C-alpha cells in the first residue's frame, strides 16, 4: 500500500484513542482473504490496511464494522451487508460503518458515501482517509 495519507491518518486516530479499543482482535491477511470469499466482495489494499490497524479502535461515537472468524460481533460486517441490502444499498458498495441504521459505504472508486433509510445522500468523501478525518476524528 502506498497511501501515506491513510497511514498518517490512522496513526493520528490511534494516538487520539489513547489505547481504547473494543475487545475484538484485529484481523490478519488470512482472515481477510477468507472473509472476502464468504461475502463475495474484494477489499482494496487501503481498506485491508484499515481493517488490520484500526477497525477495533474506540474513539468518539464512530464504531467501524469489524470482521471476526466466527462472525458473531454485534458490529459484524457480514450482518451489516445483509441489512444494508435491505435498505437498497448497491451490492457492489461495502458498508464500513453503521450509524443509527445508516451506512457509510466504500464504493468501487474508493470514495465513501452515506446511505440512509431514505437512500443515497449528498454526503460523500473522496477516500477513506478523508472520511476518518472528517467524520470520525473531527466528531470524536
Residues of the chain above pLDDT 90, percent: 88
pLDDT, position 2? 56
Range of the domain at 51: 1-137
pLDDT, position 17? 95
pLDDT, position 117? 86
What CATH number does the domain containing 98 carry? 3.40.1580.10
pLDDT, position 8? 96
Question: Which secondary-structure segment (H or E) carries 10?
Answer: helix 4-17
pLDDT, position 34? 96
Lookup result for grid cell 468518539: 60
Q: What angle do the packed helices 29-39 and 77-87 form, to 10 degrees?
A: 30
pLDDT, position 16? 95
pLDDT, position 1? 47
Domains: count for the chain: 1
pLDDT, position 140? 64
pLDDT, position 15? 95
Smallest Cα–Cα separation from 51: which of 41, 65, 39, 38?
65
Which residues of the chain fall short of a pLDDT of 50?
A: 1
Amino acid at each position: 500500500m502506498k497511501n501515506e495519507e491513510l497511514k498518517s491518518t490512522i496513526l493520528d486516530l490511534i494516538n487520539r484513542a489513547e489505547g481504547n479499543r473494543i475487545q475484538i482482535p484485529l484481523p490478519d491477511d488470512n482472515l481477510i482473504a477468507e472473509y472476502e470469499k464468504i461475502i463475495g466482495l474484494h477489499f482494496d489494499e487501503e481498506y485491508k490496511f484499515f481493517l488490520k490497524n484500526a477497525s477495533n479502535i474506540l474513539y468518539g461515537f464512530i464504531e467501524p464494522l469489524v470482521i471476526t472468524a466466527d462472525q458473531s460481533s454485534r458490529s459484524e460486517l457480514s450482518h451489516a451487508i445483509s441489512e444494508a441490502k435491505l435498505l437498497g444499498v448497491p451490492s457492489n458498495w461495502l458498508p464500513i460503518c453503521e450509524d443509527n441504521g445508516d451506512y457509510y459505504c466504500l464504493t468501487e472508486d474508493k470514495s465513501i458515501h452515506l446511505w440512509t433509510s431514505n437512500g443515497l445522500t449528498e454526503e460523500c468523501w473522496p477516500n477513506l482517509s478523508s472520511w476518518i478525518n472528517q467524520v470520525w476524528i473531527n466528531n470524536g
